[in-house]
Amino acid sequence: MAEKISNKSVLFNPFSKNNPVIVQVLGICSVLAVTVSLEPAIVMGMSVIAVLAFANVIISLIRNTIPTNIRIIVQLVVVAGLVVIVDQLLKAYTYDVSKQLSVFISLIITNCILMGRLEAFAMANKPWPSFLDGIGNGVGYALILIIVAFFRELLGSGTLLGFQVVPQWCYDHGYVNNGLMILPPMALIVVGCIIWVHRSFNKDLQDE
């Protein structure tokens, strides 16, 4: 990341070409756990965007004063502080969703996207590009989260955001919700398929 890159590509690259989840393979843990239905996925995505953008800015502001030996601890503390704020906000305003997300909001701290972006980008760049990088990667992450949640909720419970989408007459004619989609392993298969599709369009990302 040493060469000069335009702010625009910093913001938009992580959406697809350099997506944090399916290309950089960061932050998978939460993708799989919170995507049973759409609502927690959206909340989680927004939380990550907020934390990532602000953590990037803060670290980038103080990047010249952090001693390299203890930078990991400094980064963790900054991130942890932000996550605690998000966690308390969610508990105050959307208690149900925060219950559903349980420990996964707290686990944003150890979400590799954060450490990865802080290390790779914020430590070496000015605050404004770092902010854009945080937003970009956060959105890239949220995109995958929402796609996975969309398929899992639609196929698993026939609803979207809690509203019934699959009409009743389908059930009358023998359509059954795919209960397997609600189980955790299916999230992995959906992500696997997303990677498959994504890489067939981006040939330069393929292995070997």
Partner 1 sequence: MENLNLFIRSIFVDNMIFAYFLGMCSFVAVSKNVKTALGLGVAVTFMLVITLPINYLLNTYVLQAGALSWLGPEYASVDLSFLSLILFIAVIASMTQLVEMAVEKYSPALYGSLGIFLPLIAVNCAILGGSLFMQQRGFSSIMTAVSAGAGWGIGWLLAIVAIAAIRERLATYSNIPKPLRGIGITFILTALMGIAFMSFLGIKI
**Least distance in Å: CB of 37 to partner 1?**
16
Stretch that binds partner 1, among 2-10, 42-50, 51-59, 81-89 (CB under 8 A): 81-89
Contact between 17 and partner 1 by CB under 8 A: the answer reads: no
State yes or no: residue 101 binds partner 1 (CB under 8 A).
Answer: no
Burial (CB count <10 Å: 0-12, 13-18, 19+), residue 184: exposed
In this chain, which of 25, 61, 62, 124 binds partner 1, going by CB under 8 A? 25
Q: What is the dihedral of CA 165, 168, 173, 175, to 10 degrees?
A: 40
Nearest-approach distance from CB 173 to partner 1, in angstroms: 28
| CB 54, CB 86: distance < 8 Å | no
Number of residues that bind partner 1 (CB under 8 A): 46
Q: Does 88 bind partner 1 (CB under 8 A)?
A: yes
Interface stretch with partner 1, choices 36-44, 50-58, 82-90, 146-154 (CB under 8 A): 82-90
DSSP 161: T
B/e letters for 151-182, b = 16+ CB within 10 Å, e = fewer, are bbbbbbbbebeeeeeeeeeeeeeeeeeeeebb
CB 36 within 8 A of CB 104: no
Cα dihedral across residues 126, 122, 23, 155: positive or negative: negative
From 32, 145, 148, 154, residue interacting with partner 1 (rule: CB under 8 A) = 32
The binding site for partner 1 (CB under 8 A) comprises 22, 25-30, 32-33, 72-73, 76-77, 80-81, 83-84, 87-88, 102-103, 106-107, 109-112, 115, 183-189, 191-192, 195-200, 206-208
